Amino acid sequence: MSFSKIYTRGLLGLHAPLIEVEVHVSQGLPSLTIVGLAEAAVRESKDRVRSAIINSGFQFPTKRLTINLAPADLPKDGSRLDLPIAIGILIASGQLPENCAEDFELIGELALDGHVRPVSGTLTLAMACQQAKHKMLLPLDNSQDISHLPNLECYPVSHLKEVCDHFLGIKSLSSIEPATTSNQMPYKFDLADVKGQLRPRRALEIAAAGGHSLLFKGPPGTGKTLLASRLPSILPPLSNQETLEVASIYSISNTPHTFGQRPFRAPHHTASAIALVGGGCHLQTTMRHSKQLCDLENGSDSILREKQFCTVVLSFPI
C-alpha cells in the first residue's frame, strides 16, 4: 500500500481539533514534503522522523513522500505530530499492517534515537479523544497527566519500536490504569494559618459561601495579600468538569499544578489589559504567557492597589 491515514490532534486554545495525517509514497527522486499549513516545528519533523525510523530498525523509503495535514486551513504547530507522521510512513511503505492504527489517535515528539518525548496539552488532547471514542497513544512521561480521566483507553509509549511491535502483534502495550480517588492535597496557603483578623476572616467565609466578590482596602502590611491568597482554601470543591478544565489549562502551559485545587492569581498592578485577558493571533501562545483570565474562571484572582491600575485595564470586560 502506498497511502496511509493516521489520526492525531491539534491545539487551538482549549480546543483540540482532529487532524488527519495523510502519507503518500510515490515513484520519483527521494524527497519528503509536508503540506497543510505546517509551522516551523512541524516542518522540522522530517529530519527527526527520518533518524527515528532508521534507529528503530526500519527502512526509510527512498522514494517521493508527500505528507498532507488535513484540514489544510487549520494551523499546525508543535512537535506532537512526529509520532503519527512516522507511523504513517511505515504503513504507507508496507512495513506495518494497513489498518493497524485506524482506531487510534497518536501524539508524541520523536528523538533521533526513536524515543518518544513528552508534549504539552496532553489532557486537552485526551479529553477530545475520549469524546470521539478513540484509543490513544501518548508519551510515557505524559501518562500521569491523564490518569484522572475516566473511560479512555490509552497506551503510554517510550519508544517508536514499542509502537511498531504493538501494531505488528509482537508485544502488546499496557493501557493506563485510572487513578484512584484520594483525599485532596492540602493547600499551600490555608486560612487556618491566619491568627486573629476575626472580621476579615468572617468576610472571607461569607464571600466564599455565597460566591461574592471582595474588595481589600487598607495600608500596606495589614494582611490584604495574606487573606486573599488563602481564599481558595475555603472555596467549595471543584466539580469533576471544573477540575479537568483547570488541569487542561495548566497542561497546555506546562505549569506544575496540584490536581483538584482551585488556582489563585495575583497580577501586578502594572499589568496591562493584554497581560490580564490575553491577546495575539493564537490563543494557545497567549495562554503560555498569561493565564489570568483562564484561571479566573474556576479560581480566585487578587488585584491589589486598584488606584494604580490605568482606567482601560479596570474597565476591560472579563
pLDDT (tens digit, 9 = 90+) per residue, 242-288? 888 888 888 888 787 788 888 888 887 777 777 776 665 554 444 44
Q: Classify residue 295 as exposed, middle or buried by CB count within 10 Å of its CB (0-12, 13-18, 19+).
A: buried
Q: Is the pLDDT of residue 99 over 70?
A: yes
The residues of the chain that CATH labels 3.30.230.10 are: 3-168
Which of residues 278 and 160 earns the better pLDDT score? 160
pTM for this structure?
0.80
Closest by CA position to 173, among listed 148, 150, 143 = 143
Is residue 211 left, alpha or beta, with left meaning phi > 0 and alpha meaning psi from -120 to 50? left
Q: What is the pLDDT of residue 287?
A: 45
Measure CA of the first residue to CA of the last residue in the chain; give whole Å: 53
Burial of 276 (0-12, 13-18, 19+ CB in 10 A): buried
Q: What pLDDT sits at residue 281?
A: 52
CA distances for 235 relative to 147, 238, 257, 298, angstroms: 25, 9, 17, 10
**3 state DSSP class of 86:** helix
- Residue 102 binned pLDDT confidence (cut-offs 50, 70, 90): very high
Instruction: Name the 3-class secondary structure at 252.
Output: helix
Region of poorest pLDDT, from 210-214, 251-255, 309-313: 309-313
Class of the CATH-defined domain 3-168: alpha beta
Q: What is the mean pLDDT of residues 162-180?
A: 90
Q: Exposed e or buried b for every residue in 243-260, given b needs 16+ CB within 10 A?
A: bbbbbbbbbbbeeeeebb
In sequence order, what E strands does 107-225 have? Answer: 109-110, 116-117, 135-139, 154-157
3-class DSSP state of 224: helix
Q: Per-residue pLDDT for 169 more than 60?
A: yes
> How far from chain centre, in Å, is Cα 74?
18
Of the candidates 227, 238, 215, the residue with the CA atom closest to the CA atom of residue 299: 238
Number of Cβ atoms within 10 Å of the Cβ of 135: 17
pLDDT in the model for residue 196: 85
Contact call for residues 163 and 83 (beta carbons, < 8 A): yes
Supply the pLDDT for residue 297: 52
How many angstroms separate the CA atoms of 90 and 61, rounded? 9
77 bridge partner residues: none
